[in-house]
Amino acid sequence: MNILEVKSDLGTVSRLVVRVKTSCWLSDKGIHYRKDVIPMRRKSVGYDFLTEDAEMCGALEVFHQITNIDSVEDGLYEVGIAVVSRDWETGAIENVNYKLHPYSETP
């Protein structure tokens, strides 16, 4: 499913590009592992849905919603929608899972 289909009611075309950056280090407190997902403002267009979701439900929940976050290497990715679940009664979107696709300059 395409993000443009789900967010079409916003009136603008959205394209969210992020940089995935992994770091690992040792300190006197232990061994640390961190994965950052950083929105690229100049390469993105329109609505930043990841930041809004993180503000509403927390960063950990958003990381769990990115289905392939553990398998991607560091680099630029476009965020797309993998799975949308809807309320059976109203049809409203209840849950969205995201997937990272390799970034290309052409949409």
pLDDT tens readout for residues 28-55: 999 999 999 999 999 999 888 899 999 9
Determine, yes or no, domain membership for 107: no
- 62 in any annotated domain: yes
pLDDT of residue 5: 57
Tell me the pLDDT of the chain averaged across its residues: 87
- What integer is the mean pLDDT of 60-72? 94
Under 8 Å between Cβ of 80 and 103: no
Q: Cα Rg for the chain, rounded, in angstroms?
A: 15
State the residue range of the domain holding 72: 3-102
Is the pTM of the predicted complex or chain greater than 0.75?
A: yes
Distances (CA, A) of 10 to 34, 46, 84, 89, 90: 33, 9, 17, 23, 20
